[in-house]
Amino acid sequence: MIGLSSYAGVMESLMNSAEEQQPSSPLTNSWSKIQESSKNQKPKGVGGFVLVHAGAGYHSESKAKEYKHVCKRACQRAVDQLKAGALAVEAVAAALVELEDSPFTNAGMGSNLNLSGEIECDASIMDGKSLHFGAVGAISGIKNPVLVANRLLSEAQKGKLSAGRIPPCFLVGRGAHDWAVSHGIPPCPSEKMATKFSLSAYKRNKRKMELAEKMDTGQNQTKKRRQSSENENGSGCLDTVGAVVVDLEGNVAAAVSSGGLAMKHPGRVGQAAHYGCGCWAENACNMNPYSTAVSTSGCGEHLIRTMLARECSAAMQSEDAHQALLEAMQNKFISSPFLTSEDRVLGGVIVLRCCRCVEAQPSQNIQGILVEFLWSHTTESMCVGYMSAQDSKAKVSIPISQIIKMFCSEF
């Protein structure tokens, strides 16, 4: 079973004749409920949309309020960038910084500790306009790994290095840390990145593992270790964060950041750093009518073996986005031949797709951007937030129902 929610909206970014008021669209009642606050107010030159997630997993009621708050802040941070004229890749990085800075998310500050009691983070970002990609894996001592990934992306866009060397797009471990510091990103002691929540979780998990190892005997050893690992890395620990953005010009970008599975082996790199697995962004072109952006969350090993981000992006070129995502999650993930040995497949995605549309009217040609955004998850819940540049505040949801829903808005 998977939960799938989808939202579609029209982002009327008026390029011409912005002074004239647009006539009402022939919309259904479900559209009008959401559009009331911004239907008649469309600031000139303001456009864009952001969708964020605080992970697919289990979000306890005690922390639900904090997850919602950080998603709202992340949306607002991205929208502020869009209103200032930033491109999608800059706005998505700003959203991720806000998510990483929260002590309640498993990214940046407060990330899960590995077996050695250290924090190693993964992050990646992709620009749909240039198709450039930047990523870091198992990086320690950097407060905001997404900034390193973004810097790798921007440096690669400058072209070759001295002596014709190809600039890196993916760095790991100490090499990633040293490169970040040499490019002006300040280090942060790992002990300062751990929070009381992550430290208490580490101590609790370590005690459980020690107890399980004492109980291991003979042929049951491997089986019990596997069961212990599944318990410790259950859906409650999969709170990777991510975001997708479309800007006023229709460019898309996506990013993802994670502290990885709790009690992971040192040096382990999850899907958040892997190309096509953690995030994907691609502007429309002659072959693809839609621009798409995807960010994933879940068990990294499952997402890596299925390259879920890229698979979902490709599926979004179908006419019916809702049905396409359902089929992609079922055929490319849940029933994937690459995961047949898994008892339970854990993952979630947020997806954005958009295309330009022109509405001919007697007095003007209005060129806008049609935006559809969806999310799907196989876990118990997934915290998501979304906001357009015309909205006064973000909307946040932690869906746990398996019922398929669809809402629409015009802005």
Q: What are the tens digits of pLDDT across the range 60-79? A: 777 889 999 999 999 999 99
Nearest to 96 by CA among 72, 114, 78: 78
Nearest to 361 by CA among 14, 28, 10: 14
Beta strand spans in 261-363 (E) = 279-282, 291-298, 347-360
Per-residue pLDDT averaged across 316-342, rounded?
95
**pLDDT > 80? residue 364:** no
Residue 29: predicted pLDDT: 28
Q: What tens digit of pLDDT does each residue of 176-233 get?
A: 999 999 999 999 998 899 999 899 999 999 999 888 888 865 445 554 444 444 434 4
Pick the range with the lowest mean pLDDT from 15-24, 126-135, 256-265, 378-387: 15-24
Residue 111: predicted pLDDT: 94
pTM of the model: 0.85
Which CATH class, in words, describes the domain spanning 49-159+166-192+236-410? alpha beta
- Annotated catalytic residue within 105, 240, 292, 306: 240
379 as an active site residue: the answer is no
Residue 210: predicted pLDDT: 86
pLDDT category at 35 given cuts 50, 70, 90 is very low
Residue 327: predicted pLDDT: 95
Residue spans per domain, the chain: 49-159+166-192+236-410
> Cβ contacts of residue 320 below 8 Å, gap of 6+?
none
CA dihedral 285, 286, 287, 293 (to 10 degrees): 10
Q: What tens digit of pLDDT does each residue of 134-192 get?
A: 999 999 999 999 999 999 999 999 999 999 999 999 999 999 999 999 999 999 998 89
**pLDDT > 70? residue 34:** no
Is the distance from CB of 304 to CB of 274 less than 8 angstroms?
Answer: yes
